[in-house]
Amino acid sequence: MKMLIGGRWVDRDEKIEVIDPYDNSVVDTVPSGNEKDVLAAIESAARGFETMRRLPTHERVAILRRTAEFVARDKEKFARMIAREGSKTIREARKEAFRCSNTLQIAADEARKIVGETVNFDAAPGSENRVGYYYRFPIGIIAAITPFNDPLNLVAHKLGPAFAGGNAVVLKPATVTPLSALLLAEAFLEAGLPPEALQVVTGRGDRIGDVLVTDPRVRMISFTGGPEAGESIARKAGLKKIGMELGSNSPVIVMADASFDLAVECSVSGAFWAAGQNCIGVQRIYIEKPIYEKFADAFVARTKKYKVGPKLEEDCDMGPMITEGEAKRIESWVNDAVKAGATLLAGGKRRGAVYDPTVLADVPEGARVGCEEVFAPVVSLYPVENLEEAVRLSNGTDYGLLAGIFTSSIENAFYAIREMDVGGIIVNDSSDYRVDQMPFGGVKRSGLGREGIQFALLEMTEPKVVCFNLQGIGR
């Protein structure tokens, strides 16, 4: 496939192979973009912005709706591309394709709601003859940098609100999973998006990233990825808006009064969805002691039933990690934890890029699997005396994205809501729950700002104040 610059599909002699991590087959190739490509993309986006900011709201709505319809029409093509270039099973990929279409429909709805309000200037003495209002206007060129784990829907989460607000976008998709993003770009163009409103530059981040994030013509960076990369971008970006959804180490609390089967099933799914490569995936589970042994046994038994590996088979439960290097990383982390005293309850085996669903207990303090983001199919179980201890341990990392709690007590639920230092709490489901219209983001090293279409749209527009001095009207 080719990259999209200046309204044209552009190729380069230097290519990047997109590899299926399960069998190492080549899915396709994309151009290896360079600094000149990024600069050309930004220059084209500047022209695209002049078109987009003048585009009537009803035309933005129509483009977003048509794109959503095209994704729904071609959902199986999108799903197979998601599954082949990444880690998701075909069933997981179909859900992502559905969500992408839904995300764009939400963006179309929100485009109609970009409103301001009147300002009571006469509330200030001396301004009795003044009236006015504010409205929101697009900020300009947005650099969107997206990760590998949701290669379609997380692109839609950036493009949807950007176009709803009248902006232009330069998109840098993940190097290892650019194909789904390019398919979405094709759908936008088919839907009538002005050709220069969207640029898609494929290439390696260390080669093109700095050029993109430092250019002063880029007025906002919307980034999803690791905290180290996020911190680097923040240091280099200069005076522009930054929205970042970074890492996590999501905790789930299971109280003795919880609906037991619900807690087990949701927590297993939350831990191993997309091979655990999920920013809100369950990583730590704190279980009240009276049910700890029962929960651990049931959790392990359910985990061992997972069918792993052949992503395109309908009964496959979990695919490979994104690269063999990533699988080797988590293999090392787990081995280190076991050497330090952790107990391996399930999994712990690697075959190429496939790492079996893994459950640990007795994880010692300071082990990387417990205090860092594993981004892998590894979960640790911890017994706790009470809710207060569970909350204290949950808060004991540098991350704070989403958390979950299973309990039948409204008092327990509201204690967790009040005391847990996270961007969102899911009651009676795992941390791995999200709908595309909710505000999404975290605290501490988990990010800056909020995604979710309505909330991203506020970040991607600015208020402009208009004030009339009536003394100068009609004279």
Cβ-based neighbours of 272, under 8 Å, separated by 6 or more = 281, 303, 306, 317, 318, 357, 377, 379
Report strand pairing: 26-31 vs 117-119.
Answer: unpaired
The encoded tokens of residue 245 equal: 């959804």
At 295, list the tokens: 């929960």
Start-to-end CA distance of the chain, whole Å, equals 62
0.85 cut: is pTM over it? Answer: yes
Query: Alpha-carbon distance 43 to 23, whole Å?
Result: 39
CB half-sphere exposure, 370, CA atoms < 13 A: 24
Residue 425: predicted pLDDT: 98
Give the other-Cβ count within 10 Å of 128's Cβ. 11
Measured between alpha carbons, how far is 424 from 415 in angstroms, rounded to an integer? 14
Please tell me what DSSP assigns to residue 11. Answer: -
- pLDDT recorded at residue 472: 81
Quickly count helices (H) and strands (E) in the chain: 15, 24
10-residue averages of pLDDT along the chain (475 residues): 97 97 97 97 98 98 98 98 98 98 98 96 94 97 97 98 98 98 98 98 94 97 94 94 94 98 98 96 98 98 95 96 98 98 98 97 96 97 98 96 98 98 97 94 94 95 96 78
Q: Which string of b and e fits 147-177 if b means at least 16 CB within 10 Å?
A: bbbbbbbbbbbbbbbbbbbbbbbbbbbbbbb
Question: Strand, helix or coil at 116?
Answer: coil
Q: Which residues pair with 463 in a beta bridge?
A: 136
Question: What b/e string do you get for 441-473 counting C-beta neighbours within 10 Å, with b at 16 or more?
Answer: bbebbbbbbbbbbbbbbbbbbbeeeeeeeeeee
Residue 232: Cβ-neighbour burial (10 angstroms; 0-12, 13-18, 19+):
middle
Please write down the HEC assignment for all residues of 365-426.
CCCHHHHCCCCCCEEEEEEECCHHHHHHHHCCCCEECEEEEECCCHHHHHHHHHHCCCCEEE
C-alpha 93/C-alpha 99 separation (Å) is 10
Count of CA atoms in the C-beta half-sphere (13 A) of 475: 5
Q: Give the integer Cα–Cα distance in Å for 212 and 221.
A: 9
Tell me the CA distances in angstroms from 207 to 163, 239, 347, 403, one per residue in order. Answer: 27, 22, 37, 36
Residues 6 or more apart in contact with residue 224 via CB below 8 angstroms: 145, 146, 147, 154, 244, 245, 246, 279, 451
Instruction: Give the per-residue pLDDT at 474.
Output: 73
Domains of the chain and any CATH numbers:
3-246+446-465 (3.40.605.10), 250-427 (3.40.309.10)
Active site residues: 245, 279
